[in-house]
Amino acid sequence: MLDQASQARRSPQGPSALRQRLSRWDVKYAPYLFIAPFFVVFAVIGLYPLLYTGYLSFFSWPRFGAEHGDAVGWANYSHVLSDPVFRKAIVNTIGIFLLSSVPQVIVATVIAALLDTNLRGRSWWRMSVLLPYVVAPAAAALIWGAIFADNSGLANEILRVVGIDPIGWHSDRFASWTAIATMVNWRWTGYNTLIILAAMQAVPRDIYESASIDGANRVRQFWNITLPSIRPTMVFVIVTSTMGGLQIFTEPRLFDTNLQHQGGANYQFQTLTMYVFNTANSATDPYPRAAAAAWLLFLLIVGIALLNFLVTRAVQRRSLR
């Protein structure tokens, strides 16, 4: 600023006045320009479809029509809300979410803590945890689908050897949730581990040193130093895995590839995103009903993510005190 001011004093005529104004604009608006691309892209491929979906959910739309029909008010919402399959899908989604996200975050934290120690071949171990994440989810679902096959699957073969009756991985509701949650955990634990590990490594080492001089053991250090220090990252991991978990699609979709009834014959493992997808293929008003279901899913995710955020923060606050 000082520099500019002195320059302006030296030559108060036109061009430098413009330059001055330009440089003021530069300081003021350039940052907004720098971040603008994201918001432009988001507005076009995120916000607009989101709003259009909401708009669409209040209309009818013939199955093969090119345009939407008459406005129908809240009929699409009441249709979705009164659908027993939709309610089942909510329970399925939350069930699979709890079976995946909760153990996933806990296990990821523990593994990260282990990786944070002075292991031999540290980089190798760290790379290895990310390996499942590299596998395409569709390929992973196929592999796990073979493992959890009802008649010839590896999982049931092992149970048979141990002397336990084979489990109907596709027909039993809880078993199907477990199988799907296993696929999700296998894939995403390593990813979360690395994020948490990065946060752990940012914790100043001298705190640990003074703690061990004070006689705190490893476990104590983990609870009283590591966890409180990585609080923002934990909140991030928990919130993102909540959002992802509630949108789960690929794994359950490929768990049973029968297109006539995605998500099991009795809708045992049909999730909300699958419900949206299926509704878009149904006979009457496919798109508006799917749009209504998508908005309900959106609200549910926002609600749970918010709740999650508040609870995590409250718990962490108390542990800090």
**DSSP codes joined into one string, 92-153:** HHHHHHHHHHHHHHHHHHHHHHHHTS--TTHHHHHHHHHHHHHS-HHHHHHHHHHHT-TTT-
Enter the DSSP assignment of 280. Answer: T
242 vs 312 by CB, closer to other proteins: 242
What's the min distance (Å) between Cβ of 199 and other proteins?
Answer: 19
65 near other proteins, judged by CB under 8 A: yes
Which of 183, 176, 171 has the alpha carbon at shortest distance from 100? 183
List phi, psi (to 5°) of 119: -75, 155
Instruction: Judge residue 112's burial from the number of C-beta atoms within 10 Å of its C-beta, 0-12 exposed, 13-18 middle, 19 or more buried.
Output: buried
Instruction: Pick from 6, 117, 151, 217 the residue near other proteins by CB under 8 A.
Output: 151
- The residues pairing with 71 across neighbouring beta strands, listed in sequence order, are 59
d(CA 238, CA 308): 8
Tokens of 313: 């923060």
Crossing angle (nearest 10°) for helices 48-56 and 286-320: 120
63 near other proteins, judged by CB under 8 A: yes
| Chain residues 15-34 in contact with other proteins, contact rule CB under 8 A | none
Contact yes or no for 91/176 (Cβ under 8 A): no
Contact yes or no for 279/289 (Cβ under 8 A): yes
Binding flags for other proteins, 202-221, as an x/- string (CB under 8 A): --------------------
Binding flags for other proteins, 154-183, as an x/- string (CB under 8 A): --------------x-xx------------
Q: Which stretch binds other proteins (CB under 8 A): 2-10, 109-117, 284-292, 300-308?
A: 284-292
292 near other proteins, judged by CB under 8 A: no
Q: Which stretch binds other proteins (CB under 8 A): 11-19, 120-128, 143-151, 223-231?
A: 143-151
52 near other proteins, judged by CB under 8 A: yes
Q: How many CA atoms lie within 13 A of 63 on its CB side?
A: 5
Instruction: Pick from 277, 295, 296, 312 the residue near other proteins by CB under 8 A.
Output: 277
273 near other proteins, judged by CB under 8 A: yes
201 vs 258 by CB, closer to other proteins: 258
64 near other proteins, judged by CB under 8 A: yes
Q: Which stretch binds other proteins (CB under 8 A): 23-31, 115-123, 250-258, 309-317?
A: 250-258
Q: Which residues bind other proteins (CB under 8 A)?
A: 44-45, 48-50, 52-53, 62-67, 79, 83-85, 100-101, 136-138, 149-152, 168, 170-171, 184, 187-188, 241, 244-245, 247-251, 253, 258-261, 265-266, 273, 276-277, 280-284, 286-287
